[in-house]
Chain A
Amino acid sequence: MNAIPNGAIDCDLHPAAPSIKALHPYLSDHWREASVLRGMDELESIAYPSNSPLSARPDWRPAKGKPGASLDMMRQQALAPFGTRIGICNPLYGVQLLFSEDMALGFARAVNDWLAKEWLDAEPRLRGSIVVPMQNTEFAVEEIERCAADRRFVQVLLLVAGDTPLGRRHYWPIYEAAQRHGLAVGIHAGSTYRHPVTPLGWPSYYTEDYAAQASAFQSALTSLICEGVFSKFPDLKVVLLESGFTWLPAHIWRLSKFWKGLRMEIPWVDRHPMEIVRDNIRLSLQPVDGPPDASAMTRLMEHMESDELLLFSTDYPHWQFDGDAALPDGLSAELVRKITVDNPLATYSRLTERPA
């Protein structure tokens, strides 16, 4: 098993809001009152059923309360064991799933302020992602502008499946704001469930729902490339979080074949899609949906055509691996160094800023 070098940067940690009440101090009077008077439930997405074996590792479940809700436990379970120097927090509280864009903005603000106060203020190793209400692009940009001054926010956080494919032009002000502020755009597994998670309708089993997330990422990547996001925003870094990565080479082989045949339809895509991926797309390490043998993993890494694409992640507290086996077999020591340290630093420009 590969050893993790000192100073690893964990790009996918999930601090959990213990309850909707925990957000009350950060909600405006209006939304706090509304949430009480209307008896709002917890905004927990069906993407992670609370007791599912994937939603938290058994040894990472607290005796009571939600996995990921305690900073002390995150320190002990996620930061210390891997020697993590910096951890990026991606809250998954389901504010993007709301139908009311006003309510979504109110709750997104609360999540971001809660994260800054209760996690980033308390633990200097942590950085944050800005949760934005994708229901309304103007609101999303407004929230980016509000939070971007806090340099501990290093990324804008989106869900992979929403109302419309992520490359669509009406989202571009979000990408413009991210690029202008030196923020990466992180796209995390999860859906707003506006549409079925498969193009064939709603599947029967949770297993299928989770499996389908990888396909949702493939479609989102197709959309980002074909709509020309990276022709317009060449400096933008998009990070696919909890996406899996072993599907990437095959997907680009198919996309690039059609690009060769159909590029007259999207003339602004003036480079091979693999080159765009190399410049603009990064993927978190976990989950590793890998081949059973290490030699095949080594081959797969060659298929990626670049050693700069993967970023170390534990996906804490979700289950993706047991013990401390966060790295798959089949990676060279040099590649491990790139994945755990160099690539995250090169992706998130704010990580290398000197403190103000």
Chain B
Amino acid sequence: MNVQTRNAPVVAKANSNRLMTADGDIHPGRNPGDMAPFLEKKWQDHLATFGSRLRQAYQKGPAYPKSQPYASRRDSYPPDGGRPGSSLPFMQQQLLDPNHCVLGILNATGDNGQAFQNREFGTAMCQAMNRWLVAEWTGKEKRLKASLVVPFEDTDAAVAEIEKYAGHKDFVQILMLNRTSEPPGQKRYWKVYEAAAAAGLPIGVHAFGFGGYPVTAGGWPSYYIEDMVGHAQSCQAFLTSFLIEGVFERIPETKLVLIESGFAWAPPLAWRLDKLWRRLKEETPHLTRAPSETMRESVWFTTQPMEESPTREHVMDAIEWLGWDRLLFATDYPHWDYDDPDHVLPVPVAEATKRDFFLNNALKLYRQPMPVPAA
């Protein structure tokens, strides 16, 4: 979603010359029955009988009702039927082609097994998701790559899934959710990160998740808007845990990508953590340098939903403080708060910077070749 801010009309689209883009956050949709060929019969039966049972109140649907069905754009329903994002041809037509997208990262979120209370069932569902992603998406469209869905609350099972797919060209990242059941920098998760590092894969952390704790330090809020805004606070806790537990010191190859939770909060967080670290160093002797230095080298952020400042250029300061090389453009297609590449940058920026923002940063991080433009 990009809303025109009040104080300065846009005279020209910031990206009107139609650069190639990489899209760091695309959601492939599933229709009822789509998973059947990929999930063992016993788990299909289990799902039918008991449901997926997350750490939340309702059997189906989110505890905070979304603003529209499937949280999706009302124009994203495939003309031949099915849910938003569930048709590859329509995704190609509506998203990949018009955005000149040459690299799209699929994040199969939703009821994907990662946060099922029954961990054995969750592992089976994660495995099914990965089979489905290859069979129905990345195997059919070479512009698309996927994040590997791993049951990260079950360390051994997550490590096994990572090792199974290590070196598979279609998976370029490990998928986690930002509401874990314990602070994610803690020791019980380290083997997952070691496996990711060994496979040369970044850890992508998408908004949502069902850790079971209130989504604010002061309890459960009332509204969907608070749940959505709250992903920035969850991600601050996620990143703080990674930095202060010393995950990057212990596993130096670790690369962390925070997806759909904003980025403008990161510089103030870094300033705060640096100040605390200097003052409280004796508590964290395992840290070898300032948290901001680690963040500057090992953490990336997808841009959607791009923060929008009342005075247009202010958000550009936040990007400068963070570093342009930290940002990965993303649309969040087909969700309602989609960011449009034509409007996402509030003011014009230099051509080379734009190319990094829309494409090169992602190609480098995900180790993908520069595509040759069609003649």
With both chains docked as a complex, state the minimum distance between the C-beta of B184 and any C-beta of chain A, in angstroms: 7
Contact of A219 among B224, B230, B321 (CB under 8 A): B230
With both chains docked as a complex, state the minimum distance between the C-beta of A305 and any C-beta of chain B, in angstroms: 6
Does the CB pair B217–A198 fall under 8 Å? yes
Contact of A201 among B180, B276, B277, B336 (CB under 8 A): B180
Does the CB pair B218–A205 fall under 8 Å? no
Among the listed stretches A60-68, A107-115, A124-132, A260-268, which one makes contact with chain B, having 4 or more residues with CB under 8 Å of it? A260-268
With both chains docked as a complex, state the minimum distance between the C-beta of B80 and any C-beta of chain A, in angstroms: 28
Does the CB pair A219–B279 fall under 8 Å? no
Interface string of B170-198 (1 = CB under 8 A from A): 00000000111111111000000000000
Contact of A165 among B1, B216, B308 (CB under 8 A): B216
Most chain A CB within a 10 A radius of its CB, from B211, B214, B315: B214
Given A199-B213, A244-B268, verify A266-B225 contact (CB < 8 Å): yes
B155 at interface (Cβ–Cβ under 8 A)? no
Among the listed stretches A5-13, A34-42, A148-156, A295-303, which one makes contact with chain B, having 4 or more residues with CB under 8 Å of it? A295-303
19 contacts between A and B (CB under 8 A): A54-B279, A160-B218, A164-B220, A198-B213, A200-B184, A205-B244, A205-B245, A212-B217, A212-B240, A214-B236, A214-B272, A216-B218, A219-B216, A223-B218, A253-B307, A253-B310, A253-B315, A255-B225, A266-B223
Contact residues of A with B, CB < 8 Å?
52-54, 160-168, 191, 194-208, 210-212, 214-216, 218-220, 222-223, 226-227, 244, 246-247, 249-251, 253-262, 264-266, 272, 274, 287, 289-292, 296, 299-300, 302-303, 305, 319
| Chain B, 192-228, CB within 8 A of any chain A CB | 211, 213-226, 228
State in angstroms the CA–CA spacing of A164 and B11 once bound together.
45
Does the CB pair B314–A303 fall under 8 Å? yes
Does the CB pair B276–A207 fall under 8 Å? yes
Given A254-B265, A291-B267, verify A200-B237 contact (CB < 8 Å): yes
State in angstroms the CA–CA spacing of A149 and B77 once bound together.
62
Does the CB pair B237–A199 fall under 8 Å? yes
A contact residues around B218 at 8 Å (CB): 160-166, 191, 195, 216, 219-220, 223
State in angstroms the CA–CA spacing of A255 and B233 once bound together.
12
Does the CB pair A53–B279 fall under 8 Å? yes
B contact residues around A197 at 8 Å (CB): 217
State in angstroms the CA–CA spacing of A332 and B281 once bound together.
33
Given A165-B221, A207-B244, verify A199-B215 contact (CB < 8 Å): yes
| Chain B, 270-321, CB within 8 A of any chain A CB | 271-273, 275-277, 279-280, 282-284, 305-311, 314-315, 317-318, 321
With both chains docked as a complex, state the minimum distance between the C-beta of A213 and any C-beta of chain B, in angstroms: 8
Most chain A CB within a 10 A radius of its CB, from B180, B225, B279, B284: B225
Contact of A222 among B186, B229, B283, B317 (CB under 8 A): B229
Does the CB pair A195–B219 fall under 8 Å? yes
Does the CB pair B240–A223 fall under 8 Å? no
What are the 6 A-B residue pairs with the smallest beta carbon separation, nearest first?
A250-B264, A219-B216, A198-B237, A289-B272, A253-B307, A216-B217
Does the CB pair B265–A227 fall under 8 Å? no
B contact residues around A227 at 8 Å (CB): 222
Does the CB pair A196–B275 fall under 8 Å? no
Does the CB pair A215–B236 fall under 8 Å? yes
Sample of 8 further A-B pairs with CB below 8 A, known A162-B218, A247-B269: A191-B217, A198-B217, A201-B213, A203-B244, A208-B240, A220-B218, A265-B67, A265-B225
Count of chain B residues with a beta carbon within 8 Å of a chain A beta carbon? 71
Does the CB pair A52–B272 fall under 8 Å? no
Report the nearest B residue to A248, measured CB to CB: B268
Does the CB pair B305–A257 fall under 8 Å? yes
B102 at interface (Cβ–Cβ under 8 A)? no
B44 at interface (Cβ–Cβ under 8 A)? no
Does the CB pair B223–A212 fall under 8 Å? no
Contact of B232 among A54, A207, A251 (CB under 8 A): A251
Does the CB pair B318–A250 fall under 8 Å? yes
B375 at interface (Cβ–Cβ under 8 A)? no
Contact of B317 among A160, A287, A299 (CB under 8 A): A299
A contact residues around B317 at 8 Å (CB): 296, 299-300, 303
State in angstroms the CA–CA spacing of A218 and B215 once bound together.
12
Contact of A211 among B184, B232, B276 (CB under 8 A): B276
Contact residues of B with A, CB < 8 Å?
1, 3, 67, 178-186, 211, 213-226, 228-230, 232-234, 236-238, 240-241, 244-245, 262, 264-265, 267-269, 271-273, 275-277, 279-280, 282-284, 305-311, 314-315, 317-318, 321, 336-337
Contact of B275 among A254, A261, A289 (CB under 8 A): A289
With both chains docked as a complex, state the minimum distance between the C-beta of B48 and any C-beta of chain A, in angstroms: 32
State in angstroms the CA–CA spacing of A299 and B214 once bound together.
35
Does the CB pair B280–A53 fall under 8 Å? yes
Does the CB pair B217–A226 fall under 8 Å? no
Does the CB pair B241–A208 fall under 8 Å? yes
Most chain B CB within a 10 A radius of its CB, from A198, A244, A246, A259: A198
B contact residues around A261 at 8 Å (CB): 1, 3, 67, 336-337
Does the CB pair A219–B222 fall under 8 Å? no
State in angstroms the CA–CA spacing of A264 and B245 once bound together.
41
Does the CB pair B233–A246 fall under 8 Å? no
State in angstroms the CA–CA spacing of A292 and B293 once bound together.
13
B contact residues around A164 at 8 Å (CB): 218-220
B contact residues around A198 at 8 Å (CB): 183, 213, 217, 234, 237, 240-241
State in angstroms the CA–CA spacing of A259 and B229 once bound together.
10
State in angstroms the CA–CA spacing of A249 and B308 once bound together.
10
A contact residues around B213 at 8 Å (CB): 195-196, 198-201
Does the CB pair B183–A201 fall under 8 Å? yes
State in angstroms the CA–CA spacing of A222 and B215 once bound together.
12
Contact of B310 among A214, A264, A305 (CB under 8 A): A305
B contact residues around A165 at 8 Å (CB): 216, 218-222, 226
